[in-house]
Chain A
């Protein structure tokens, strides 16, 4: 019988208390008359009977409540719309940010058994994650046992020539085992087999699904055909499936990497990215420990280069930069903040609304609606509102995704996030939490009061006062949360300003840039390249409006690497933090084009050929490091395989971007790129200073390049200003997103204060009337009401500021040196909140002043 009684809990409480006893009795009656096998059947019947009927009664109640909710929404559309909008803001913000966070930080990478995939780096002083040199890669591979497989790749774009325009596409050169190591089979064809990466194997390539569809219409007959990559014919052997990205989202093809014997000579030639798959049962810690031993042995064997070289082993999942990670958590925190503010705001709205409806509710109670019934009905109503808000929120999140996605670096091997079932479940949970969060409190409170019997007493001072305290607490929390968001946004804005104020070392205005990456082997010979540069540069310089034009290996902020060890006077060649410099080959006029000041000596010149003096122009910080206070001209140092002589000194530029410390720069004459070597550094970025509308030159420049080499694609055409702007673009986006959240929170908090103070004024109309009648001046009344709002704001600001300090400390990594206790940001946030509190309280205060004492007292 207990079991049956428990079953009855499936019914709504009202129904159960009404009929429960009777039903138990009926069932008991039946049961005692039935012999054993029939009793079993009876039980089954009873369960089915209870389930079916309980469900239908719940359905019936739901229908009633929904109708009721629809009716009350129609009666107060303004209120309903406000609630839906506020809920949509909360759910939308959280859903959008969750989608991105989930894709970027939480989901496993889309590779087979991706938890065992690791990334390996050389760990050198000043560079925790540096690419491996081929000999170290080879030795790590043969000496370690923790990995099922190790594979390597270099991201290398290439010029693709097939039908149509030549095109520059991103891709990677892989060792043969790499695709197999990731464990995703190709959609057609095969991927590289062992031996495909041997030096004399046939040239083969695998296409991405995107490239296959875009360029070849998804035609399976592409298998076996030849495409020209950098002028060499590659046989297409396979196509990877949709959603496969490696190493980054932009890679569209893969070919095999070819390492010749000469590549294994230099342990300072750090070029290889290495991915491994941990052996089953081997933990990350074990692998790290083994690699510590392996690198220690190599350090003893090759002290000159490997003395300070350890290994960094990370899960591939965790390769994301600390900044991106921090940023996403910060955004998620901000979104949850917005959701909480929205919830407390809605709870406040609903409380006020319930008080307006108290007569109606009390009436329903007196007509026999139980308290549980009332709570249920109010909850249904708030869930309906939240549900509508949730739908709108998901739509908003969907619309906001492309913007948020720009926060995620392209280098991640994951697809564009989409709103999928997992996200929808999250949104539904967030919505339900919102509906319950803002529904339960008012529902329970109001139903308690409504069932307390005496309607008047229920809603007079005692009950009203308690509710006021509750709402006041909610408003204080809202203000505090919005202060936190405002302060965080303020800190990020300050960081952005600081960075935008940083001098990059060159003048970006009026310079247009583009890339012509000359393919090898077609352009393997330095002389062949010189011919190309000479033709292009002389014609470009002759264009009207062009003042200077020059080529360089890589423009600053576009490519941040290319760092080589420097040695002066035969010091060891091992790389440390304090003996490296960035290597760039330039044509004459580069410094003039970029307006990088020449401090001493001369520019590189056309007469700096490979046969002559190995000339170098270095930056001021380079001189400061090696020859402080001395004349650097004519000094010599070993760099990039040769002895170089300083012929000029120029100002420093921010090669690594505005935010990071940059190594000193060494510029070498373009004619001294060793023939057939270092081709990676062959000048490819063209910078043209033209003043005025530099972008208008592009068509003419493209024509010049086509006439120099019709097969040569032009890529990355943009203004130098855009490159500098792109350096702070992620931050600007961060500020925009966080700023939007802060603005929402701010508005909601204002709404909360305004609503609460208005309500207080309406409750105290009589009291105020009496005061005025007794001679209180308007100023007194105004101040009295205002004090109410100011007090709430002050409490919120105090709590908010202390929280903001803590939050600021956790996101210090994003602040570019701005301290979390930055006075400007914190004062601005507190000030904004104070203004908000006063402004929001002003309207109700005016209303209070305009109360007519006669009418107010008569209303009693």
Chain B
């Protein structure tokens, strides 16, 4: 698990998005854009490169079962987060929190949040 950290930003966001519900690629992009208030718009290339690597690393998996046909475009592949993915996201969040704690102790970012 440690070898996966730190997660690339895109991968972290994809994990967060998939943790909420299983999504297909375009839905992930939209979710990430919404979640970050438009700050991060993943390009198709970045998204699928990340997905490709995360599949290899076992952080996510392609979902075998699809939503009902009328809701779904047949070309879409849905992705789900794996338990390893959950642990990785969790570890990454802790890592970031620890970083923020250290930064605050040194007098950074005190005013906000």
Contacts and interface: CB of A to CB of B under 8 A. Distances in A.
A23 B76 CA distance: 10
Nearest to A56: B49
Contacts of B51: 19
Given A22-B25, A26-B26, A52 B76 contact: no
Interface string A4-21: 000000000001001101
B11 to A, nearest CB: 13
Contacts of A50: 43-45
A21 B75 contact: yes
A161 B45 CA distance: 76
B34 interface: no
10 contacts: A19-B48, A19-B51, A19-B52, A23-B25, A25-B76, A26-B44, A45-B43, A53-B46, A53-B49, A60-B53
Contact of B43 (A21, A29, A53): A53
Interface in A38-94: 45-46, 48-50, 52-54, 56-57, 60
A523 interface: no
Interface of B: 24-26, 29, 41, 43-49, 51-53, 73, 75-77
B45 A23 contact: yes
A506 interface: no
A56 B53 CA distance: 12
Contacts of B49: 53, 56-57
A27 interface: yes
B28 to A, nearest CB: 9
Contacts of A49: 43-46
A26 B29 contact: yes
Contacts of B45: 23, 46, 49-50, 52-54
A50 B43 CA distance: 8
Contacts of A48: 43
A22 B75 contact: yes
A48 B26 CA distance: 19
B10 to A, nearest CB: 10
Interface in A367-424: none
Contacts of A18: 52
Interface of A: 15, 18-19, 21-23, 25-27, 29, 45-46, 48-50, 52-54, 56-57, 60
B29 to A, nearest CB: 6
A14 B45 CA distance: 14
Contact of A22 (B41, B43, B46, B48): B48
Given A52-B46, A53-B43, A57-B52, 19 more contacts: A15-B48, A19-B51, A22-B24, A22-B48, A22-B77, A23-B44, A23-B45, A23-B48, A26-B25, A46-B44, A46-B45, A49-B44, A49-B45, A50-B43, A50-B44, A52-B45, A53-B48, A53-B49, A60-B53
A22 B41 CA distance: 17
A399 B49 CA distance: 47
Contacts of B77: 22
A57 B56 CA distance: 13
A29 B73 CA distance: 13
A23 B51 CA distance: 12
B26 A46 contact: no
Contacts of A26: 25-26, 29, 44, 47
A58 to B, nearest CB: 11
A21 B75 CA distance: 8
A50 B41 CA distance: 14
B8 to A, nearest CB: 11
A270 to B, nearest CB: 76
Given A49-B46, A56-B49, A22 B29 contact: no
Contact of B75 (A25, A46, A53, A54): A25
A27 B26 CA distance: 9
A722 B52 CA distance: 73
Contacts of B41: 45
A15 B52 contact: yes
A27 B44 contact: yes
A60 B8 CA distance: 15
A60 B47 CA distance: 16
A25 B46 CA distance: 15
Contacts of B48: 15, 19, 22-23, 53
In this complex, the member of B49, B53, B77 whose beta carbon has the largest number of chain A beta carbons within 10 angstroms is: B49
Nearest to B43: A49
In this complex, the member of A15, A45, A53, A60 whose beta carbon has the largest number of chain B beta carbons within 10 angstroms is: A53
- Give me the 3 closest cross-chain CB pairs, A-B, nearest first: A49-B43, A53-B45, A49-B45
A53 B48 CA distance: 9
A63 B85 CA distance: 25
A53 B77 CA distance: 20
A21 B24 CA distance: 13
Contacts of B29: 26
A29 B26 contact: yes
Nearest to B51: A19
A15 B49 CA distance: 9
Contacts of A22: 24-25, 44, 48, 75-77
B55 to A, nearest CB: 9
A48 B44 CA distance: 11
A53 B42 CA distance: 12
